[in-house]
């Protein structure tokens, strides 16, 4: 009975714990997340640069229109408007527009017309030697500012303005 009461020990070797998993190399999920973050940052930088480049002509036109409002005439404001339009639209479509066609082009880029209703004022300010009243000149110049602010860069639905003609 003495043999049964003593526990028998097996000749086992001591336990060896494996080394803890290291942080490196990262699992594939972390690599995918890191790649997505880097790609997002690169894409964001590219889009911001493209947007700044696209709005450079718009900002220059607004600065020119706002620099010296008292000394600016409607013909000078119209010239700034034409330069801004040439920066965004094809030269062959915009460069040869004059008179009513030019004003209809400008109105086609806006939600509501602002130039055709003032066609006589524009005609007298641009094509005759008679000077319009100062408040009328200010309205024409403010229409130019409004056009630059709201029509540039062009919206897709307004790109082909003379296709229906």
pLDDT tens digit string along 54-82? 889 989 998 888 876 667 888 888 899 99
Among 98, 113, 114, 104, CA closest to 162: 104
Residue numbers of the domain that contains 121: 56-158
Flag whether 6 is in a domain: no
Flag whether 39 is in a domain: no
Which phi and psi (to 5°) does residue 43 adopt?
A: -65, -40
Q: How many Å apart are CA 147 and CA 160, to the nearest integer?
A: 17
Count CA atoms within 13 Å of residue 52 on its CB side.
6
Among 67, 145, 81, 146, CA closest to 112: 146
Q: Rounded to two decimals, what is the model's pTM?
A: 0.69
Flag whether 4 is in a domain: no
Flag whether 113 is in a domain: yes
Flag whether 46 is in a domain: no
Asked if 143 contacts 110 with a C-beta cutoff of 8 angstroms, the reply is no
pLDDT tens digit string along 44-58? 999 999 999 988 998
The pLDDT value recorded for residue 74 is 84
Tell me how many domains the chain contains.
1
Which residue's entry shows tokens 């408007």?
81
Structure tokens at 137: 């000149």
Reduced to 3 states (helix: H, G, I; strand: E, B; else coil), residue 107 is helix
The pLDDT value recorded for residue 122 is 82
Asked if 93 contacts 131 with a C-beta cutoff of 8 angstroms, the reply is no
Flag whether 140 is in a domain: yes
Flag whether 86 is in a domain: yes
Flag whether 15 is in a domain: no
Q: How many Å apart are CA 165 and CA 157, to the nearest integer?
A: 16
C-alpha distance across the termini of the chain, in Å: 116
């Amino acid at each position: 009975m003495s043999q049964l009461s003593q526990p028998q020990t097996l000749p086992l070797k001591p336990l060896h714990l494996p080394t803890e998993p290291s942080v490196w190399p990262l699992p594939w999920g972390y690599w995918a997340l890191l790649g997505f973050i880097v790609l997002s940052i690169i894409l964001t930088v590219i889009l911001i640069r493209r947007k700044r480049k696209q709005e450079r002509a718009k900002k220059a036109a607004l600065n020119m229109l706002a620099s010296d409002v008292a000394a600016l005439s409607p013909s000078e404001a119209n010239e700034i408007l034409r330069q801004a339009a040439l920066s965004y639209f094809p030269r062959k479509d915009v460069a040869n527009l004059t008179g009513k066609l030019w004003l209809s082009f400008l109105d086609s880029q806006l939600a509501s017309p602002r130039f055709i209703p003032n066609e006589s004022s524009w005609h007298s300010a641009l094509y005759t030697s008679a000077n319009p009243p100062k408040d009328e000149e200010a309205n024409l110049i403010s229409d130019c500012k409004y056009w630059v602010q709201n029509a540039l860069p062009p919206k897709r639905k307004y790109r082909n303005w003379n296709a229906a003609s």
